Amino acid sequence: SHLPDHIRAKVQDHPCYSEEAHHYFARMHVAVAPACNIQCNYCNRKYDCSNESRPGVVSELLTPDQAIRKIKAVAAQIPQMTVLGIAGPGDPLANPARTFETFRMLSAQTPDIKLCVSTNGLNLPQYADEIAKHNIDHVTITINCVAPEIGAKIYPWIYWENKRIRGIEGAKILIEQQQKGLEALTSRGILVKVNSVMIPGVNDAHLKEVSKIVKAKGAFLHNVMPLIAEAEHGTYYGLMAQRGPTDEELQALQDECSGDMSMMRHCRQCRADAVGLLGEDRGDEFTLDKIDVMD
Ligand code: SF4
Ligand code: SF4
């Protein structure tokens, strides 16, 4: 398809990155990362991080040991399982001990499973080496803006160096860390996908600029996702759009951003505990009480 050959070789059996593979290979997320170090206006902490996950669904939180048991139980039932991701329910890199313990055990016990992780990017520069060490070859960074004035409308605060930093000052630090983290990963040969949440009236006109910049820094894919702005998902409405984009608005923006950049169009915004082929979610078959019965 549209990806360069050397990247396609790396992602050909990854259901998220290959249009063909997503019919044949399965992925799963394990929810081992409860804490977050920033606040997004579209997030309600009770639910999963919308870095990768549909807000509004509560995942079953697992310890690293429980996660390993679950992964083994799933792999025994779903042989096409090729990819394991950590995507929440908070920020994986705000829970480094739990996240990297899980990856460490997996690299040792199931070396054939590809690993990926997603993050808001705030802690990314400091963990780039650790990520490279665990042989995680795909990282997703959620980047919603490159301008602090826009960032201040999306992120009311970040938690940085033991302090809560609000407004433009906080957004500026987050943006700098995201960009530094992106460069740190691509310079180590790690594939980076960028996710952006399209928020009508806040960052929609700005995302073209984001696309240009992240592409220049080596991201291989940009995924523009719609804001899910329904009250039951807990979205904070104060400064935010009252609604998510329409399908037409989303598609128009994806077309505009694509240029020669690869655009991802089949991301399903899976739950932090999703299991199975894309478009199917068998997570409910593998909750802890059920895998205990399988043991
Ligand atoms: Fe919520 Fe994710 Fe934003 Fe953290 S990064 S506030 S978990 S949406
Ligand atoms: Fe793949 Fe998107 Fe689902 Fe992540 S959220 S597993 S990238 S389809």
Identify the CATH number of the domain in which residue 254 sits: 3.20.20.70
Q: How far is CA 146 from the centre of its chain?
A: 18
* Rounded distance from Cα 1 to ligand 1 centre (Å): 32
- Residues with Cβ within 8 Å of residue 271, at least 6 apart in sequence: 29, 48, 53, 54, 57, 59, 281, 283
Question: What ipTM did this prediction achieve?
Answer: 0.85
Residue 282 lies in a domain: no
Please state, in angstroms and rounded to a whole number, the distance separating the CA atoms of residues 47 and 56: 5
Name the least confident of 79-88, 232-241, 279-288: 232-241
Ligand 1 center to residue 292 CA distance, Å? 31
Higher pLDDT, 209 or 8: 209
67 alpha carbon, distance to own chain's centre: 18
Is the residue at 167 inside a domain? Answer: yes
Phi (first) and psi of residue 59, to 5 degrees: -90, 155
Domain membership of residue 245 (yes or no) is yes
Handedness of CA 275, 21, 68, 97 (dihedral sign): negative
Separation of 236 CA from ligand 1 center, angstroms?
12
Residue 135 has pLDDT above 70, yes or no: yes
Q: For the chain, where are the E strands, in sequence order?
A: 26-29, 38-39, 81-86, 114-119, 138-142, 157-160, 163-166, 191-198, 221-226, 275-276
CA of 35, nearest ligand number: 1
* Statement: residue 17 has pLDDT above 80: no
Quick one: which ligand is closest to 140's CA?
2
Q: How far is the CA of 166 from the centre of ligand 2 (A)?
A: 30
Structural domain includes residue 289: no
Number of neighbouring beta carbons within 10 Å of residue 4: 9
pLDDT for res 123: 97
In the chain, the number of structural domains is 1
Residue 240 lies in a domain: yes
How many whole angstroms separate alpha carbon 155 and alpha carbon 57?
Answer: 21
Q: Which residues lie across from 224 on neighbouring strands?
A: 196
**Which residues neighbour 260 within 8 Å (Cβ) at sequence distance 6 or greater?**
none
**98 in any annotated domain:** yes
Give CA torsion, residues 224, 230, 233, 235, to 10 deg: 80
Mutate to test the pocket of ligand 1, among 42, 95, 119, 120 (most ligand atoms within 8 A of CB): 120
What pLDDT score does 18 carry? 66
Report yes or no on 283 lying in a domain: no
pLDDT above 70 covers a percentage of the chain that reads 76
What is residue 270's predicted lDDT score, i.e. its pLDDT? 65
Report the distance separating Cα 9 and Cα 4, nearest Å. Answer: 9
**pLDDT of res. 253:** 83
Between 8-22, 68-82, 138-152, 213-227, the lowest mean confidence (pLDDT) is in: 8-22
Mean pLDDT rounded to a whole number for the chain: 82
Residue 107 DSSP one-character state? H
Q: Which residues, including other chains, have CB under 8 Å from residue 144's CB and lie 6 or more apart?
A: 40, 150, 151, 154, 196, 197, 199, 203, 210
- Helix/strand number for the chain, H first, E second: 9, 10
- Six token digits for residue 100: 């990297």
On whether the CB atoms of residues 31 and 61 are closer than 8 A, the answer is yes
Q: Residue 293 domain-assigned?
A: no
Interatomic CA distance for residues 150 and 154, integer angstroms: 7
- Among residues 181, 188, 151, which one has the least CA distance to residue 166? 151
Domain containing 179 equals: 5-277
Of all ligands present, the nearest one to the C-alpha of 49 is 1
